[in-house]
Amino acid sequence: MESLQNLKRRIKSVKNIGQITKAMELVAATKMRKSQEIALNSRPYAYTALGIMGILSGLKDISLPELLCERPISKTAFLLMASDKGLAGSFNSAVIRKFESFVRAEKIDVYDPRYSFIAVGQKSKIYLERRNLPVIQSFNHLGDLMRLEEAEPIASFLVNGYLNADFDEVILFSTNFVSALRQDPVSHELFPITFEKIKESIDATIPQAGRYSHYLDGWSLAENGGGEYLIEPSAKEALECLAPQLLKIRLYHLLLEANASEHSARRVAMKNASENAADLSENLNVVYNKSRQAAITNQIIEVTSGAEIQQ
Count Cβ atoms within 10 A of the Cβ of residue 108 and give its class: 0-12 exposed, 13-18 middle, 19 or more buried. middle
The whole-number average pLDDT for the span 7-29 is: 85
- CATH 3.40.50.620 for domain 4-24+268-302, yes or no, is no
The neighbouring-strand residues paired with 183 are: 177
The CA angle 236-238-243, to the nearest 5 degrees, is 95
- Give the integer Cα–Cα distance in Å for 246 and 50: 7
**What pLDDT, on the 0 to 100 scale, is given for residue 99?**
94
**DSSP labels, 35-104:** HHHHHHHTHHHHHHHHHHHHHHHTSSS-PPPGGGS------EEEEEE--S---STTHHHHHHHHHHHHHH
List, in order, residues 6 or more apart from 54 with CB less than 8 Å away.
195, 221, 224, 225
Mean predicted confidence (pLDDT) in 132-136: 91
Where does 27-265 sit in CATH, by number? 3.40.1380.10
| Direct distance between the N- and C-terminal alpha carbons of the chain, in angstroms, rounded to an integer | 33
**109 CB-near residues (< 8 Å, 6+ apart):** 115
Q: What is the location of CATH 1.10.287.80 in the chain?
A: 4-24+268-302
Q: Quote the pLDDT of residue 119.
A: 93
Backbone angles phi, psi at 15, to 5 degrees: -65, -40
Q: How far is CA 299 from CA 7, 304, 311, in A?
A: 19, 9, 19
pLDDT in tens, 143-158: 777 777 888 899 899 9
pLDDT range class, residue 130, cuts 50, 70, 90: very high
For residues 165-175, give the mean pLDDT: 90
Helix axes 43-57, 195-203, angle to 10 degrees: 160
User: Which pLDDT value is given to residue 280?
Assistant: 87
- pLDDT grade for 61, boundaries at 50, 70 and 90: low
CA 156, chain centre distance (Å): 21
Residue 119 near residue 80, CB atoms below 8 Å: yes
Q: What average pLDDT does range 294-304 have in this prediction? A: 79
pLDDT band per the 50, 70, 90 thresholds, residue 178? confident
Looking at residue 43, what is its pLDDT? 67
Parts of the chain belonging to CATH 3.40.1380.10: 27-265
The sign of the CA dihedral 183, 184, 190, 193 is negative
Strand partners, 116: 77
- pLDDT at 112 exceeding the cut of 80: yes
**Looking at residue 222, what is its pLDDT?**
45
